[in-house]
A and B are shown apart, each in its own frame.
Chain A
């Protein structure tokens, strides 16, 4: 008995108990919502449970990799990611009008997911090396390291993922000390470049932004998602219609209700109270990540942990924003809650890294 307990203790040595507890709570809620959102499909439930187990495995593995090792593999991982992204660009499989997948013969992989981790690692590695004296040129190099993968993902086209990769990289730059003047300058330049960027967007992306501004333009087409989702949320009221009782969800008015729009199901069935509790839960997860980042032993750890936490925030904000109709509809799932394995595994790897930074700290500083 004692040895088994010892084994568990040893296995769980690198878990952050508090963060793990909150994550498990959130994943439990995810399963409860999914049961309703999938139309009580046991197939979907069991698939998602397997996804969760795989993701927890990934979390455990990364929690046990010391940050120094991560620091060492940062550059090769980034380069590998870039090679794969270029591979997708050249030979990728097309599905649903986008070129996102790469068939390696053994398995089909989505390299853009990898970049969600590899890009902040690469940039954290870069700023960690240069920490003594940051010059303007460092930001230029970092910006190029960020712009290359983001550009390739935009081209696929996958606006949602490119926003998340771009955000993860930007957070590293920001936390590393990107000057306010530069940021304001970039913001102004960005605003000036808006018409040009608008031109670069795909028609369907442009349409989505137009519809965001006025969803009633196309109530049965592109605006349908937003309209039905806001109706679902609004009709949920203060305390919701109750689990499995959302009319918008259960009668199929909500499109993609178990993936990108699962928050509408949640909001319809659990109401304002549920929404605020979920926001609180997310805020606690992000807060815990920030605490870990603030106490990071070195620049690499701090930047990486900070970026991972803030990217999680971006995930949640963009998804909830689009479902509630204040942001355009981009393909960003609700983190931890939406159905699907790929993004869940990536997210849990991020949390694994956070835990690794937290639990290996003593070893580094001592």
Chain B
């Protein structure tokens, strides 16, 4: 071995190594140069852009939901109010194993099977990034227990929320209505109306009744809060805020005591009652029986309760005064009478001799009176008092369907009354044109007779009947019926009353209205069809009874009340106003399958009038007639309606 060669070799080797190392060093510098350029790009050239992104990350605008307005009755009794409570809410998108998380939560906080069911249902109806309540109204202890373990549950939060509560439960549920969680449909319509931004902080919206109709008034204006949030969306601190404006309070014209008496008077029977003040259209009682507890709906009804309500044969969810349509029966007769008088027909001293039936000229078909053998000599006043069918058959025939329908239409039959609730039905005032369109058939003269006694095609809602009675009581002046008497702007104390709104002034001859009213007054006097209703009353009641057929009765067949299945029995109707000389209250009552109007519906009306006019409360009802009994599902048939 040559040591000199080795040494040179070593030097050569080292030289070569250093060359390579130098190349690597240059590559390193280039790479670091690339990094430096990148940093310069991000942190200098595009600083503004990334600064904005970071601020957007950090700052979020949190809406603060306003406090919903309170609903009170005319005396200030609270019908709907709010309270704060803790809820436990889950944002499914932020939770990996939902089932496991709920099970883990259940260890700390009680989660009932119905909570789980309701959560599951809400989960199906909402988006995965929405916060969905699992448990409502946590106790302080439960909230504290969860708060300690919150770090274990990303995507689960305790929130303090305002809850809506209806302290009187089922009382007046159909008129007060309820609020429910905002769903996709609500969202769409809010967006269409441009109201969506105001609902960013709200979870609930009015779904029915006054809560729905006066949604804008009750809701208030959403405030905002600029908060710094972390990546999980937890607020770290508040940067700035603007306070929400609370919704306005509503004062209803309803008297909740009167409402209670009316509902109790129905007992377990189905039906409807509307009572209003004919002098201004204010609604005093608005009953739909059976009723339900609106509190069930506020945070999503659990499937079992929903099934029970929805499938009950008694149909508690139907808003009967507005959406229940019934033939008016004989309660229609005072209006037919007025139509005749205004047309110059049957003015006193005109009278007929009633054989108990009516025959159209040139026909042998007998249109029977409800009283076999007839009422003897009958003039207009008596015809109303005894509800003489024969008299009205002849009058209707002479008036003709066109004249009759067009006059009676002024009394809000066949059209909406314009009450401050949504979903009102128009009912039906038949005309030949309507029949041609609907059935492609001509109008037969016999049908006019049937319409003349309130049967046949004619359909009315209890609301329409009450409104028509009020118009008659007020001699033709029609006020818009209203549930809300005044608005109390949020926060401030003052009350802004709602001015009564006159819809129509029907030109009527006072002599004619007086005659019809006298006939109605006699109804509650001895000899009238509702003499028992007027018995012992220290004020005068003008009224008319009615019976609406549920099933057709064949010619020459006798109607036997007890033999007919309960749900096929006639509906009992009753309209009235009092005191007869200067009416303060007008009402309409329907008891479904109640039989005769005077005996089934009349006493209910009497109790309502007694309380409203005299402050007299009815005796405690017998225990078996207690209202609000859970609807009993009889059998799985779809017979009714």
Contacts and interface: CB of A to CB of B under 8 A. Distances in A.
Contacts of A253: 57-58, 230-231
Given A237-B47, A251-B231, A276-B39, A231 B53 contact: yes
Interface of A: 131-132, 171, 174-175, 177, 228, 230-238, 247-248, 251-253, 267, 271-272, 275-276, 279, 282-283, 286-287, 290, 293-294, 296, 299, 302-303, 306, 310, 313, 317, 320-321, 324-326
Contacts of A313: 28, 31
A259 to B, nearest CB: 16
B35 A320 contact: yes
28 contacts: A131-B13, A132-B9, A230-B50, A231-B50, A231-B53, A233-B43, A234-B53, A234-B54, A235-B51, A236-B43, A237-B43, A238-B43, A247-B58, A251-B228, A251-B230, A253-B57, A253-B231, A275-B39, A275-B43, A276-B36, A279-B39, A287-B25, A293-B17, A317-B31, A317-B32, A320-B35, A324-B35, A324-B39
Interface in B5-64: 9, 13-14, 16-18, 20-21, 24-25, 28-29, 31-32, 34-36, 38-40, 42-44, 46-47, 49-51, 53-55, 57-58
B229 A279 contact: no
A223 to B, nearest CB: 14
A325 B43 CA distance: 13
Closest 9 CB pairs of A and B: A234-B50, A235-B54, A252-B231, A251-B230, A272-B43, A234-B42, A235-B50, A253-B231, A252-B230
Contacts of A267: 39, 43
A134 B55 CA distance: 59
Contacts of B228: 247, 251
Given A232-B54, A234-B43, 7 more contacts: A132-B9, A231-B54, A231-B57, A248-B54, A279-B35, A294-B18, A317-B35
Contacts of B58: 247-248, 251, 253
Contacts of A299: 13, 17
Interface residues of B, number: 39
B12 to A, nearest CB: 11
B140 interface: no
B14, B16, B40 — most chain A CB neighbours (10 Å):
B14
Interface string B144-166: 00000000000000000000000
Contact of A247 (B17, B40, B44, B54): B54
Nearest to B46: A234
Interface string B217-236: 00000000000111110001
B51 to A, nearest CB: 5
Contacts of B39: 233, 267, 272, 275-276, 279, 324
Contacts of A326: 34-35, 38
A267 B229 CA distance: 21
Given A132-B9, A324-B35, A238 B236 contact: no
B43 A177 contact: no
A303 to B, nearest CB: 8
A272 B230 contact: no
Interface in B49-97: 49-51, 53-55, 57-58
A322 to B, nearest CB: 11
Given A174-B24, A237-B51, A317-B31, A324 B42 contact: yes
A302 B20 CA distance: 11
B42, B49, B55, B230 — most chain A CB neighbours (10 Å):
B42
B11 to A, nearest CB: 13
B44 A237 contact: yes
B42 A248 contact: no
Contacts of A279: 32, 35-36, 39
Given A237-B47, A251-B228, A283 B21 contact: no
Given A177-B16, A251-B236, A238 B32 contact: no
B232 A247 contact: no
Contact of B35 (A247, A252, A321): A321
Nearest to B32: A279
A228 B38 CA distance: 16
B49 A234 contact: yes
B32 A175 contact: no
A238 B41 CA distance: 11
